[in-house]
Structure formats: structure tokens, C-alpha cells
Amino acid sequence: MPPSRPHLPKPPDMFARDWEWSELTAFAGDEGPEATMAVVSGRRRQGKSFLLDSLARAAGGFYFCAYEATEAESLRRFGEELGQYSGSIAPMRFDRWEQAVDALLALGKERPLPVVIDEFPYLARATPSLPSIVQVAYGPRRPERLQSRTRLLLCGSSLSFMGKLLSGTSPLRGRAGLELVVHPLDFRQAADFWGIEDHRLALLVHSVVGGTPAYRREFVRDDTPVDLADFDAWVCRTALSPRSPLYREARYLLADESDLRDRALYHSVLAALASGNATAGRIAGCLERPTSDITHPLTVLQDCGLVRRETDAFRRNRSVYRVGEPLIAFDHAISRPKLSLLDRGLAEQVWESSRSRFLSAVVGPHFEQICREWVAHFAAPETFGGMPIDVSYGTVQDQAERTGHEIDVVVRGAVGQDSGVLLSLGEAKWDQVMGLGHLERLRHVTALLAGRGVDTSAVRLACYSAAGFTDDLRAAGDRGEVVLVDLARLYKGE
């Protein structure tokens, strides 16, 4: 058994990312024979470059970051930087990428060595055959690969491009030994990263900027709201201020995706979603287009990670779409309708007239999603009597009342050897103190499901509220009739 490499300590200035660092260092230090390859992706501003540059520095590897340029210019830059890394007296010269890739393989002849090509989509855009060139270089019996232990990491911010790199008929399918997606920080990590201890303030801030690390450090220069009373002013001086980079960032997120041709259509789809049109039919109606016209944009936006598709827990043929990036939801609900006023510096007036819409159209749905994330990632198995496996929303029709009930948090999980057991039905309210009326509605829905043959024997009812609970509902919680989840439990408890 080959000896294991020494553990590479995580840089002290790297916040969180313990799992990502562990995966990357394990890949880079793999003592196995033959060159290997990894694909690292994630939306821009998540810290991918910082992670990979830190990895290369810690392991003595080579890091090259591409930018938009012609093939000839990229090869020239690549040769210059590789020459500097190798200690050559003169820059290396490459006429073709085949030569450059073989030079990278040659770096790993003595030991496992991480080699990073960041912003790989820029290179592939100028040289469409580049993925095929890498495929040939990593041929199973090719001597240059067999005699190398280069650990090549291809990284990119275009999720639509990177997602296709290893799928379907892509030349690199089956070549990667690691596929790592760098996600935004979760809501708990984001609160710690922003240094916000007030849970209500933390959730409000997360409703605007989500868990993207760069928004604090690079975009608002560590301008954090002092307290709840400062939140309104903070929004006006950051997300609604034309002087702040955060002001235009939501629009630039779409520009990172090369597959988005008609950007106006994509913005319109996002605006329709932010206005509460959650189904394909309603989005199409809002845009006054046939549903077939918005099918492809919705698919591409999902591939980009900007929109997520959720399937109804009780009507599997029904799905809704939701904006997946908080800053885009904020921009389309609050900023875009008032751009002419904001460009004139009237942030305070715009915010005063839009604050109630922010709380209902942005924070309310975001709070529901945070509750689902808490169940999926932080709730202890004993909270719902089993291990949560699938967490979604659901709608239950009440034929007698000719109405439908939407359930914000539907939990299915494993109990013993049984998977897919219905564990919980929950309602989430951002701005309401919840009482016995909410519990009675959940009991009624449970009875409706039982009447249709759904096994509800393991169901635990749950109320999620950022505003609190009445004494009567708390008493019901003490009796074990309902699971109560407030902001403190969301951020600190199980």
C-alpha cells in the first residue's frame, strides 16, 4: 500500500470549506499511478479560485487562470507562466494545445502534483476542440499519461458549460476522478461569515445576498448592518445604491453563462418568477408567450443554478419553479421595477415603497426555503422520528371545501428499513405569530391524506415561525403534539 501524503493544512484565512478542502487535497495528494483529472465548478464569487490557488500554493503545484482571449494569446500567456513556474530562462512556446497539455503531464513525472486551469470555459470558447484534446491526452494507454502523476483540475464558473463537460456525448465523459461543485455558504455559515448574531437580521441579510462570500468582502467592503434598526439603511447603501457593485451584480450573473442567447427573455422569465408565477403555464401567461417558448429558458436557468425546480410531494406530475439565487430574487422583485428612480439616487424613496413587498415576496418564500434546508441538513433524526431523505412542498386538495391546502415543508424519510415514510407536515410563517389555528389546519390536512389511503401513522406536525408562537401552541408543543421551530432553533438547534 503506497504511503499517504502529509495532510495539507487549510489556510488560516479560508472560512469554512472544510469538506471542499479535504476533497481537493485528497485528490491532489493521491499517490496512485497515472495522471488523473478533476472538474471543479460553481457560480462566480463562491471562492473557487481562492480554493484552487491555495491548493496549488500549499502543494507546490501550477495554477493558470485564463481570461477571454484568442487561442494564440492564451497559448502565449500559458507558456510564459509555465516557464516562470518551471524556472526556465526563456518563456515556453506552444503552437498547439496538444503540446501544452503534454507539458502539464510532464510536470507530474516525479510526484503527484496539482495543476489547475481556472476559467477553462474561456479557453474552450476560443478553442472548441480543447475538451477533445484533453481527452486524447488522457487516453487509457497513452505513455505520457501512464508515466505522469499530474492531478489536473479544470475549473469554471459557467455552470451550463461545466455541467455538460462530463455528461452525454462530451469527450471528457468518464475521464474525471473528482467532480466538485462549490456551493454558496449555507444560511448558518453565512451568518457567521457576516458576523451577525441577531438571527432575524441574519435571515434578512441572507434574503438579499444569500451565501456568496465575495459579496461581503469585495462588494460591500465589510459593510455589515450594525443591528436590525440599521438594516433598511444598509439595503439603501448597498443593494439599492448605483455606487455599489452589488447594485448590478444580479444582472451580471446571467452574463457568465455562454448558453444564454436571448438574455432579455431570461430576465423576463426571472421577473415572472419573482412576481409569484411559479408554474410554466403561469410564467408563459405572464410573458404572453406559448409555454413551449419558455421550456428551454427554464431548463438552461436550472442548469445555471439560478432557478430550481421543485416537485409537489403529493402530485408528482406537478412542479413549481423558484429563483435559486437570493440576489436575483431581490433584484427582480425590488430593483428592476424602479431602476429609473434608483439610477437617480432615490434609494430611500424606493425602499420605503417596496419594503412591504420585500417582506412578502422575497423574505417570506426565502424563509420557507430556509426551513426546508434546516430539515434536510440540520434537524436531528429524533426530531421527526426518522432520517429525513426528501424535503419539499406539497398541495392537498379538499374536495368538500373546494379548495387546496399548500404545505410548506413536507418531509419523507427512513424509519428502520422503510424508506419514503411520510414523517412530517409543516407550515412556515415569517411574519405571523403561529397559534392553534395553524395546528388545526395541519391536522385537517393529515386527515385528508389518511382518507386517501396515505400512511400518516408516523407524521409529526411542525410549525416554523420567525415571529414566535402563542402560549397555547407552545403548550401543545410541550405535550408532543407539534414540533416548534423558531429562529433560534433554525440557527443553533436540531
- Give the span between the Cα atoms of 45 and 253, in whole angstroms: 10
Question: What parts of the chain have a pLDDT lower than 50?
Answer: 1-5
- Give the span between the Cα atoms of 484 and 461, in whole angstroms: 9
Contacts of 8 (CB under 8 A, 6+ apart): 25, 28, 29, 55, 58, 59
- Give the span between the Cα atoms of 66 and 69, in whole angstroms: 8
- Give the span between the Cα atoms of 39 and 139, in whole angstroms: 17
Beta strands in 167-254 (DSSP E): 178-181
Residue with cell 430574487: 329
Strand partners, 309: 321
- Give the span between the Cα atoms of 123 and 120, in whole angstroms: 5
- Give the span between the Cα atoms of 304 and 313, in whole angstroms: 24
Q: How many CB atoms lie within 10 A of CB 1?
A: 4
Q: How many CB atoms lie within 10 A of CB 256?
A: 19
Contacts of 297 (CB under 8 A, 6+ apart): 262, 265, 266, 269
Question: Parallel, antiparallel, or unpaired for β 387-398 and 403-415?
Answer: antiparallel
Distance of CA 401 to the CA centre of its chain: 39
Residue 168 backbone dihedrals phi, psi, to 5 degrees: 55, -125
User: Could you tell me the sign of the dihedral formed by the alpha carbons of 478, 430, 433, 428, in that order?
Assistant: negative
- Give the span between the Cα atoms of 435 and 363, in whole angstroms: 21
Contacts of 155 (CB under 8 A, 6+ apart): 39, 40, 41, 48, 49, 52, 116, 117, 118, 119, 120
What is the side-by-side strand order in the sheet with 62-65?
Answer: 62-65, 113-118, 150-156, 36-41, 178-181
- Number of H helices and E strands in the chain, helices first, is 24, 12
Q: Please tell me the predicted confidence (pLDDT) of residue 256.
A: 65
Q: How many CB atoms lie within 10 A of CB 10?
A: 18
- Give the span between the Cα atoms of 489 and 373, in whole angstroms: 13
Strand partners, 150: 113
pLDDT tens for 348-402 read 999 999 999 999 999 999 999 999 999 999 999 999 999 999 999 999 999 888 8
Contacts of 245 (CB under 8 A, 6+ apart): 218, 219
pTM of this structure:
0.93
Q: How many CB atoms lie within 10 A of CB 214?
A: 16
Q: Are 166 and 178 spatial neighbours (Cβ–Cβ below 8 Å)?
A: no
Contacts of 438 (CB under 8 A, 6+ apart): 427, 429, 463, 473
- Give the span between the Cα atoms of 375 and 426, in whole angstroms: 11
Single-letter residue type at 372: R
Q: Please tell me the predicted confidence (pLDDT) of residue 80.
A: 97
- Give the span between the Cα atoms of 217 and 43, in whole angstroms: 17
